[in-house]
Structure 1
């Protein structure tokens, strides 16, 4: 009886939990997605640059693995990626981002470098590395028994507007959307899922900090939990470009159907920076 029971239990397959790595996962939507996956039983690793935020995660969520890395430093980023190359993972989310309000402040060299480095250059560096790692893992049958291999990036609804007068932030997010679409096509033969998230305003601490502590006046703003639900639904439904909330999706779709000169006039008159700002 005991031997039969022993044989039965040994025949039950045991699987390691799926592993998620979130770049920009120490605050905002990135952290919320990391915590959500952790609650679902995923093994979670997060990458961020603030030691204060990392120490806070280590204290409150000791089972989450943390890495400190300045994504503006390509050498430091490459070193981190090489150290992660021996680790098996099934999903990568790139949620790191940098924003400067170019309607109020004239873009300086430091802000320009930061937005370009984090919103585009580090994203490309991470996605290139992650895609190669996932392609290798796609040949393993063990991976296919768990969650589908996937690459996710967090862009912005600003990147969905076909607007030549757009800010550096919007243009870098538009480039992210285009790159994610190319990776989706390239990785389809490997059965690797690629999704891009282009949300409107999310009520995060970073957004509140940019608005004197209160971002409730932002149009169609949603809370972080609603954003997480939308992201997870987009991943489950394998939506190539998920734009939410729905009201913002309809508005941007309508604006993009306007003749370009009309759209340019509307948005330029709305977003043009007054002279004298620095």
Structure 2
């Protein structure tokens, strides 16, 4: 039996998603990529011309789900694995409170992930019908930052908390269909997305390579939920059971001045926000 897998990775053109894509391409698998970094896609298509498919899709666009699913069906036929890495982050202060920032982050991190599951389901079910082993797998990259309130990270943390809840709530039904589900919650990883994170005392960044090795291992073990690094997992787990006023003091700390590393509350940081399109675009480039 052919051991080649058909894998779809959203957010697959930068950070963790790109590293995962390179790993699976080196293993000889066929990979469909959705992401914003076109140069990364071109480089991978040049290196792996028979293995890479690019799906240009704004994952927040609900109207394009059926079209994306049809394009993946045409390109790959079925999906063995879906890895949902697409995400954005905006840090927002209550001074000049921007409700739109919450909407933008939720649209990509939460609704975009749900849209991805919807687009992938017909192809995952096709894999089940083919009787392929191991069973198809949906892997969602969430975040340990959703466990406790972090000042100015309300939009990001809320989107990841909502995603974890939603995915686990549908896991039982998917498993009964023969589709496994895994939620992976990293800590602070040194990716372009996280490099703009206001620094938190006592918390350090893990390298992308180290994080990806752990994620690959978790995917291979098909764990229900995997949290890392363990020291951060236990630390945040302990903080999360404390009274809320203690959580706020521990995670928020005292207000910083402009001379400190943490930006003042009136400053608004936008991180990797997709351009707003007048019309949604769905395109597949096959090589």
The TM-score range, normalised by the shorter chain, is: 0.7 to 0.9
Q: 1:133 to 1:160 in 2, by over 3 A?
A: farther
Report if aligned partners of 1:160, 1:198 keep a CA contact under 8 Å in 2. no
Kindly state the Cα deviation for residue 28 of structure 1 after the two structures are TM-superposed.
Answer: 0.7
Report if aligned partners of 2:184, 2:215 keep a CA contact under 8 Å in 1. yes
Show structure 1 runs of 5+ residues with no match: 1-13
Q: 1:107 to 1:198 in 2, by over 3 A?
A: farther
Is structure 2 residue 107 aligned with structure 1 residue 113? no
Question: Please, which of 18, 22, 28 is the counterpart of residue 35 of structure 1?
Answer: 22
Report if aligned partners of 1:69, 1:77 keep a CA contact under 8 Å in 2. no
Partner of 1:68: 56
Report if aligned partners of 1:234, 1:242 keep a CA contact under 8 Å in 2. yes
Q: 1:61 to 1:80 in 2, by over 3 A?
A: same
Show structure 2 runs of 5+ residues with no match: 257-262, 269-287
For structure 1, which segment, 46-55 or 91-100, has the greater mean C-alpha deviation from structure 2 after superposition? 46-55
Report if aligned partners of 1:155, 1:176 keep a CA contact under 8 Å in 2. yes
CA RMSD after TM alignment: 3.1
- Cα distance in 2 for partners of 1:233, 1:105 equals 42
- Cα distance in 2 for partners of 1:237, 1:223 equals 22
Partner of 2:212: 228
- Cα distance in 2 for partners of 1:179, 1:134 equals 19
Number of residue equivalences:
259
Report if aligned partners of 2:15, 2:192 keep a CA contact under 8 Å in 1. yes
Q: 1:59 to 1:133 in 2, by over 3 A?
A: closer
TM-score (norm 1): 0.80
Is structure 2 residue 152 aligned with structure 1 residue 157? no
Is structure 2 residue 8 aligned with structure 1 residue 21? yes
- Cα distance in 1 for partners of 2:106, 2:93 equals 17
TM-score (norm 2): 0.78
Higher relative contact order (CA 8 A, sep 6+): 2
Kindly state the Cα deviation for residue 261 of structure 1 after the two structures are TM-superposed.
Answer: 3.5
Question: Please, which of 80, 84, 97 is the counterpart of residue 90 of structure 1?
Answer: 80
- Cα distance in 2 for partners of 1:113, 1:178 equals 18
- Match of 2:188, SS state, is coil
Partner of 2:284: none
- Match of 1:205, SS state, is coil
Kindly state the Cα deviation for residue 166 of structure 1 after the two structures are TM-superposed.
Answer: 6.2
Report if aligned partners of 1:201, 1:220 keep a CA contact under 8 Å in 2. yes
Partner of 2:259: none
- Cα distance in 1 for partners of 2:119, 2:13 equals 21
- Cα distance in 2 for partners of 1:276, 1:25 equals 33
